[in-house]
Structure 1
Amino acid sequence: MPDSPSYRFPFSFPLITGASSGFGAEFARQLAPFAKAMALTARRAEVLEELAASLRAAHPGLTVHCLPCDLMSENDRAALPARCTALNFTPDLLINNAGLGDYGTFAEAEWGKLSQLLAVNITALTHLTHLFVPALCTHPASGILNVSSLAGELPIPDFAVYAASKTYVTRFTEALRIELRPLGITVSALCPGPSPTGFGDTARRQGEHLPTAELARKPPAAVVARGLKALVRNEAAVFPGFIVWLTSRVLRFLPDPLLRLVLGRRPRKARKVG
């Protein structure tokens, strides 16, 4: 977040998914100075507790709620609003950060991994948004920040399902911001390029398919700061960094043959599947 005293962050009660590492943990750290209370969700309870302890130590008076949750479980997701209510916590900001990635040819991919990716990246994000809109509406002003990806702007070979899931996130966000505007809810999408977040092999593999990948790479702190600023500015979608922004604009207008060349798509030897 910018250090300028003129910068005012309007939300005080953020709920962050996927908060145990990467962008999620960075969101928690950058929001802590502005928050009165926050709720963190992830599967790894012990990691959440470590993060919460560090936040409380750095910001006395900040209340941090840890809500371990498996977002692939519909029951776990459905229980979150009641768990928040039991803690007397009503979020005014929902950050849908949790996400999964997978790399490899679609024909050879394990369905179990693809199913989990779709469950977290699409179903969980949509479900949580639906669950928490009523709580967000109780505040005079509230927000939703959905973490998408530059990959959502492109048909990336060997990354097809992940890229398509992020296309959904971006388009869902763009439509939702129109619907929720009359309710006083600001909705934005954060669409980063490659970033060293501990997301496993996903960011590195994504970068292999993007031009000027090293120039596009941004540290998590810079990506998160830009996403929060975009929310305050009520931007529909933000692509952190000039190279990422330029890539998102240029590639969508390239002819298909040239687009495939830029993305590194090469003919594969035919093989029987199944």
Structure 2
Amino acid sequence: MKTKNSVIAKRVIAGVLAAVSSAVLFAGCSSGGSQSTAGSTAAGAQSAEKKTFKIALECAYAPYNWTQTDNSNNAVPIQDSGTYCNGYDIQIAKKIADSMGCELQVYKTEWTSIPTAITSGKVDAGICGMTVTAERKKTLLFSDPYYTSSFVALVKKDGKFANAKSLNDLKGAVCTSQQSTAWYDLLSQIPGGSIQPALTDVPTMLVALTSGKCEMLSCDKPTGMAAVKAYSNLKMIEFAEGSGFKVDAEQTHVCAALSLNNTELQGKINTALKNISTADQEKLMQWAVDHQPSA
């Protein structure tokens, strides 16, 4: 026969187990706000629903991320804005958020301000097309790669470097790329390259090339793919092995960036990424290239 005390004890244990289960599910997500602990189970569920996964990205770096005016193709609202963000990063971030049981929130952030947004705690992560470098690893923790790319050159179809097949063929090119990126550092490998000041973002880079302010841009392959789709007068140069940019393998890894001590969130992101195959990544990247906004 069950006694009254044993029933009460079992109810208490069940309540504790439920609370622990909820805490494990939402570890790594940000709280949507404080709430009084004196409330019903329904109130607790409402609080759980407010758990969010906050990410920083430019919303201007197609095909990884871009801004659009509506929520078509599963775009996500940009916080404090009437616009939406979509792209490869967004679709990957949504899969991660779903895996953790969190709501995805997007914060539009300038490229150079993303690390600070992460380390200050304003956001949980940067899922922004960022690659791993030795310098970044001093202040940021990185997930497993959610894409692996290669580096290419962008030139004008009717320019003097249109037939280039190697870095040697780009000798003396007036060149530039985005500030605070591995892309810009690669320019020193161009023989006699006339390296111009770094530019703030990809749209500004493309304007510089199409307007004739420079003759060549360095970037990764997805960015090059998006550029030639948006600008019919541009050409992407892919280099044969040994004739292109020399980089560490790590520099080709696109990863989520986190604060250095956030190993718990790193583990949860890596768990989610294990369910996204390389084939799925390539398919999703091609989708992003095909659906980016027109230039």
Q: TM-score, normalised by structure 2?
A: 0.29
Structure showing the higher strand proportion among its residues: 2
Structure showing the higher helix proportion among its residues: 1
RCO higher in structure (CA 8 A, sep ≥6): 2
Q: TM-score, normalised by structure 1?
A: 0.30
Larger Rg: 2
